[in-house]
Amino acid sequence: METILVTGGAGFIGSVLVRHIINYTDFSVVNVDKLTYAGNEKTLADIESNPRYSFECADVCDAAEIQRILKKYQPFLVMHLAAESHVDRSIHGPDDFIKTNIIGTYTLLEESRAYWSSLPLEARQKFRFHHVSTDEVYGDLPHPQNSAESVNLPKFKETTPYAPSSPYSASKASSDHLVRAWYRTYGLPVVVTNCSNNYGPYQHQEKLIPLVISRALGNKPIPIYGTGNQIRDWLYVEDHADALLSVIKDGEIGRSYNIGGKNEATNLELVQKICVLLDNLQPQKTPYADQITFVTDRPGHDQRYAIDPSRIINELNWKPSVTLDEGLRKTVLWYLENKDWWKALQDREGVGSRLGKI
């Protein structure tokens, strides 16, 4: 009972989490990933030969495969990160989001419940199901009219009512409700975490920060939706992985924890910061900001996300350690030094094209 099963471990956050578990704990990890367009097993090349790491290519919707994997590896903890996660793709085609995020979570819950029920008492008491979710389930928040007003505006708490806006966030809200229902009805020992926008190395290019970097370096227009005044709370992915380990260690069964970076910025401010970093680190004849182009906003675009992480800070003694400026510099440097990794993904489905139009 010293193995952690991570679903979606070949994705962005999942791969960082898997590496954290291998590097900072004594646990073994089995990585279960379907290897869709967003998954890349090469992301974990540095640990693939570690005797504590195993990989299983499987779909979380495949009950027989999940049952086999649980029986084979006997984990004490299931960490569920596998999900379709791009809002634009969910607008473009919601089917995969319903299947993976809702049906996949249901399948994993049921197989985990059957596995947990079959364990001896001591092992059953140790078992946990950790569901990793998003702050987007809460909908959006009031947008400040000025910087002074932003100090007093509300943030997402664990008690904030759910009000998802997109097919993606609605599917994640559905999965959160399923996890809590399996705790309340069946007693399955669960914890839920909801995080703010992650960024850092190894992120897929359809996401804002790597998209900006790749477009800038390719001398292409850098698209910004609407006026770029949408506000996000940015969380460096290594900080997120560290928070998840804190929840593994001390999280209370049946409890939810919001994980945020305490780094609010508008999309325009964020893109401008990246352009300045590129100007300094890889200068060209003209400022990269000259490539910024404003495009038609996407449907149902949430205006502001902001997390109140007081619960995890006070109860689990975790706090974000990386400021936005520090994290962006680390991220830009990584993409400059690892062009082979992200350029190899540019031919994948949907990369470089506008999705999410109605």
Judged against a pLDDT cut of 70, whether residue 54 lies above it is answered with yes
Burial 121-152 (b: 16+ CB within 10 A, else e): eeeeeebbbbbbbbbbbbbbbeebeeeeeeee
The region, left, alpha or beta by phi > 0 then psi within -120 to 50, assigned to residue 205 is: alpha
User: Which residues are marked as active site?
Assistant: 135-136, 168
Q: What is the CATH number of the domain that holds 18?
A: 3.40.50.720
- The pairing of beta strand 264-266 with beta strand 231-236: antiparallel
Instruction: Residue 103: give the domain boundaries.
Output: 3-204+234-261+306-323
Please compute the mean of the pLDDT values over residues 183-195 and round it to a whole number.
Answer: 98
Using pLDDT thresholds of 50, 70 and 90, give the confidence band for residue 300. confident
d(CA 14, CA 10): 6
Share of the chain above pLDDT 70, in %: 95
Range from 109-123, 148-162, 260-274 carrying the lowest mean pLDDT: 148-162
Residue 333 lies in a domain: no
Residue 213 lies in a domain: no
d(CA 154, CA 150): 9
Residue 29 lies in a domain: yes
Among candidate residues 25, 244, 22, 2, the one with its CA nearest the CA of residue 126: 2
pLDDT given at position 208: 95
Residue 353 lies in a domain: no
Among candidate residues 193, 186, 138, the one with its CA nearest the CA of residue 312: 193
d(CA 294, CA 221): 9
Range from 146-160, 250-264, 290-304 carrying the lowest mean pLDDT: 146-160
Phi–psi pair at 195, nearest 5 degrees: -110, 160
Residue 23 lies in a domain: yes
pLDDT given at position 100: 97
135 Cβ partners below 8 Å, 6+ apart? Answer: 156, 194, 195, 196, 197, 233, 258, 260, 305, 307
- The string of pLDDT tens digits covering residues 91-147 is 989 999 999 999 999 999 999 999 999 999 999 999 999 999 999 999 999 888 765
Residue 328 lies in a domain: no
Residue 138 lies in a domain: yes
**Token pair 């906003």 is at which residue?**
297
d(CA 323, CA 319): 11
Judged against a pLDDT cut of 80, whether residue 70 lies above it is answered with yes
Number of domains in the chain: 1
Please compute the mean of the pLDDT values over residues 293-315 and round it to a whole number.
Answer: 95
* Beta carbons within 10 angstroms of residue 64's beta carbon: 10
pLDDT given at position 147: 56
Judged against a pLDDT cut of 90, whether residue 348 lies above it is answered with no
Q: 3-class SS at 1? A: coil
pLDDT given at position 341: 84
* Beta carbons within 10 angstroms of residue 302's beta carbon: 22
Enter the tokens of residue 295. 């495009």
Using pLDDT thresholds of 50, 70 and 90, give the confidence band for residue 241. very high
Q: Which residues pair with 346 in a beta bridge?
A: none
* Beta carbons within 10 angstroms of residue 103's beta carbon: 16
In the predicted model, what is the mean pLDDT of the chain? 94
Residue 335 lies in a domain: no
Q: The whole model's pTM is what? A: 0.94
Using pLDDT thresholds of 50, 70 and 90, give the confidence band for residue 37. confident
Which strands form 28-33's sheet, in the order they lie side by side? 53-57, 28-33, 3-7, 77-80, 128-134, 190-195, 256-259
